[in-house]
Structure 1
Amino acid sequence: MPGLLRGIVRTAAVAGTATAVSGRVQRRQAERFAGRDANIYAEREQAYEQQTAPPQASAAPGPAPSSEPDTLDQLQRLGDLKEQGILTEAEFSAQKAKILGL
């Protein structure tokens, strides 16, 4: 019987040690994979934020807003004044060149 008891104790010790080592390996792998997953998540979040962020305002101003409607209105009023006889042909031409920047 002492031989049988010694075998059982040895088997229990080996099985317990194997379980403890296995659990430790599992915990280490889980920590490592959790760190890797956190890095991947952070990179994806940063890429998403860059894609959805509004464009930064630059120091240099963009092209000036078009003043075509204003220019057209001025030319139309100028034409009306000419038709009413308020402006002469020479005055009309001079004002038109001034408006168009010629």
Structure 2
Amino acid sequence: MPRLLRGVARTAVVAGTATAVSNRVSRRQANRWSTQQEAEQYQEPQYAPAPAPAPVAAAPDPLEQLRQLGELHAQGILTDAEFDAQKAKVLAST
């Protein structure tokens, strides 16, 4: 009978130790996870950078525009009134 009690006592000690170790590991993991979650909450969210604005088209050269208008006028495509109106627009935009 003493051997049986010794075996039962040893089993109880082993089971109790295993339970204590298991509980300690669980608490340690829970603390670690809660610390990580708190750290993630306080970090600023990472946003994707804003897309670069589309390149602005270079302003057309007024001299080139006047030259083209002159060619169109010389070819007879533009009348004198149309040529004067377009030339006034080009000169006003500079």
TM-score by length of 2: 0.46
Return the structure number with greater relative CO, CA threshold 8 A, min gap 6.
Answer: 2
